[in-house]
Structure 1
């Protein structure tokens, strides 16, 4: 059972829980936090204790001299970052007592993290719909647009997440890539394979690494069916049906086939951290979701209202 926070939601964001060591070289809880959060001035940490902003499991404020070992868990609100507004709205497509389906724009993260807090789909929707228990069933990369599902209450979260875990959801994406060298529209192929084609490899995510790594020795753990929607003299427009859901899978697979997705700052090569260019979004879209609802038993089909700006005019 999840540990309930003694602090209420604030502006759509829950309090942070910190697991403390029960013994160690730090005389007080405050001393431990000062070392752990070394980027903060010690006086900033002490001030939060003095203001009663750091609390125990029962909601009781802790003092700056609370000894280490007195509490195993503490809660506090993170100081909100100074955020740059992401000027694109998330669109609600469907809502019932258990499920929320939205159309996420490019550049908006699914959940809070780093320099994005209020500018995340989760926090925006909690505030907009007044659903403090809202939680994502799955995630999309910040750069990817399209369909995203949330559970609206804790009781429904498990069935929907288990449905994803058991691969009982058919996901369809589309992508736009630059025309590769040697492309023949009369007989389109990628790496000598005709469409539709299946691409497999082994993807792993190493701790602390920004990019995923491809391991050519191990058995494949990632698989994508790739179909051709259309092409012109500039771009190739593909339909992607992932059988697995590894991190960055679609981006890695298309890059490996020589058609890395347009405006991808990670693959096939890392371009470094650059400011968002809202005129050049990643050309990847979560287009369709199909599944049998584990709670109602109804067949669900959801389709995005968005499109990829660089898709050929003759595309789907």
Structure 2
């Protein structure tokens, strides 16, 4: 957050929380109820270090009274974070944007059990980029081209470009044989939030998602009992998990997809079976210079 009362620390910006209306006597009492997995002793230690503060940067103590309506700032901490043994590669950088080739398994932003092992925090820490912010989404399981904003003043122009679908994205995926494939193949459906909470699902109704599908080549069948093809995918819309849902609905779930068609048990720290989905390229007209931009991943999908 820009102008936060706590500085970026080791690439991690402070988190903040609005204090809701309630009858807690102390801030510590509220925090231990709001975050049951973080002990009171841990919060007390953070307060002693001056790392739980208000909007003006004034530190809280363990006996600070609870006053709803304001904000607190603090650093999120994870005791034992799993290292992600894959590296990102910078494809392009100017004063406005940073384009990165993201590996599989690396989350873009801090979430869940990942903090330092995220693309955003890695880049901030390695390259001293305090104002870095992602312009669009890319799943942890997906590799490929990812664009970040470097400049707060120009960020809105690039965000607007994505919001108005002024960006052409091409993906690659490995999946089974789409028996009724006939070019051009266009799939549309209505996608909504599903269950469990991290999945999407299709339902009847007006389509709100569209993907263009091109079958490229038949790959070696030696490692798999069924034929595996390489597909080029062009999502016209940008729904969460859209490509994964659409190929699964067509009966050809993406190779190694643990969410679709069925959510499999969590693989935890197993990184031996990456999802065979790659954000191959992004193309657009730069909203500031008018120059045509094209960025392509150097990564390859194989069986």
Give the TM-score taking structure 2 as reference length. 0.93
Establish whether residue 209 from structure 1 lines up as the match of residue 197 from structure 2.
Answer: yes
Alignment partner, residue 18 of structure 1: 17
Alignment partner, residue 70 of structure 2: 72
Which of 293, 298, 313 is the equivalent residue of 2:286? 293
RMSD between superposed Cα atoms in Å: 1.8
**Aligned equivalents of 1:154 and 1:104: distance in 2?**
22
Paired residues of 1:81 and 1:116 also in contact (CA < 8 A): no
**Aligned equivalents of 2:70 and 2:282: distance in 1?**
42
**Per the alignment, do residues 46 and 277 of structure 1 end up closer, same or farther by CA in structure 2, a change over 3 Å counting?**
closer
**Per the alignment, do residues 20 and 159 of structure 1 end up closer, same or farther by CA in structure 2, a change over 3 Å counting?**
same
Give the TM-score taking structure 1 as reference length. 0.89
Which of 107, 111, 131 is the equivalent residue of 1:133? 131
Structure 2: gaps (5+ residues): 222-226
Query: Number of matched residues?
Result: 297
Paired residues of 1:196 and 1:228 also in contact (CA < 8 A): no
Which of 242, 248, 254 is the equivalent residue of 2:235? 242
**Aligned equivalents of 2:102 and 2:296: distance in 1?**
12
Paired residues of 1:107 and 1:281 also in contact (CA < 8 A): yes
Structure 1 residue ranges (4+ consecutive) displaced by more than 4 angstroms after TM superposition: none
**Per the alignment, do residues 64 and 279 of structure 1 end up closer, same or farther by CA in structure 2, a change over 3 Å counting?**
closer
- Structure 1 position 282, deviation (Å): 0.8
Paired residues of 1:56 and 1:71 also in contact (CA < 8 A): no
3-state SS of 2:13 partner: coil
Alignment partner, residue 8 of structure 1: 7
Alignment partner, residue 213 of structure 2: 226
Alignment partner, residue 60 of structure 2: 62
Structure 1: gaps (5+ residues): 180-188, 311-316
**Per the alignment, do residues 222 and 57 of structure 1 end up closer, same or farther by CA in structure 2, a change over 3 Å counting?**
same
Paired residues of 1:199 and 1:253 also in contact (CA < 8 A): yes
**Aligned equivalents of 1:70 and 1:270: distance in 2?**
39
Paired residues of 1:146 and 1:287 also in contact (CA < 8 A): yes
Q: Within 5 Å, give how 1:265-304 maps onto structure 2.
A: 265-304=258-297
**Aligned equivalents of 1:97 and 1:45: distance in 2?**
39
Paired residues of 1:146 and 1:285 also in contact (CA < 8 A): yes
Establish whether residue 200 from structure 1 lines up as the match of residue 188 from structure 2.
Answer: yes
Alignment partner, residue 184 of structure 1: none
